[in-house]
Structure 1
């Protein structure tokens, strides 16, 4: 078995897989270090947690709304320039460019003051839950259910 030494990827790095090349794109918002991998030739975007067909999670302690807005603007630009036809997210089903455009546009339009206030509240609750987990790790199930309820509540608030 051959061990291949890996290296840290940085934005605009190109990962050569032989039959395809993936460009690393820094797309912060969900987390500061979030990335997408873009296959320019096949017009495929591997989006990970950056964008998926659901309510985008931006209320975690390390999330940042202003960064997410910038990322969504870049995603829209990729669609406008015809560089993405298919998105392979880290969660849920794959989708096309039109859905990517709608998800990114909707996020930007909702990123006003009410969204920021509700996100701040959810982030505070999530931080509290994570701290409790660190203190009392045997309450993993309780913490998971609490965080799941936060996600559902945030989704319902965003879709009113």
Structure 2
């Protein structure tokens, strides 16, 4: 059985269930039954608008975001799904920092719920830098089903890793 690298840290009984679904060739059925179609956020402009809608709904007073894009350089091999970065620039005598959110290009063809998990995660970094209790509480505030959706997204990444193909 191939290593389930996207599910590191999950409980043993969950991993055994995933391995059983893989062996019985049922993982794709679970994913497609729960997430039958991909989203329509197809380009960087649409992604920017999608991110800004969520930001304006949940983080009105958060730092502004200057750029949002799908980034083909973000590698799933390094366990990176999205990045929240600060770009500092000198403007006159002041140092200005701008926030950028980059989402792995693989999310262009996934269900909207999986895109939302990544966007919520990166937006939470505007307020909380570390992956601690307040960070995950904010993620759950923006997406009450955050943990289940994150797990299911990781199941889909596992499916792509094990079978070498996409469902969407």
TM-score normalised by structure 1 residue count:
0.24
TM-score normalised by structure 2 residue count:
0.23
Structure scoring higher RCO (CA < 8 A, sep ≥ 6) equals: 2
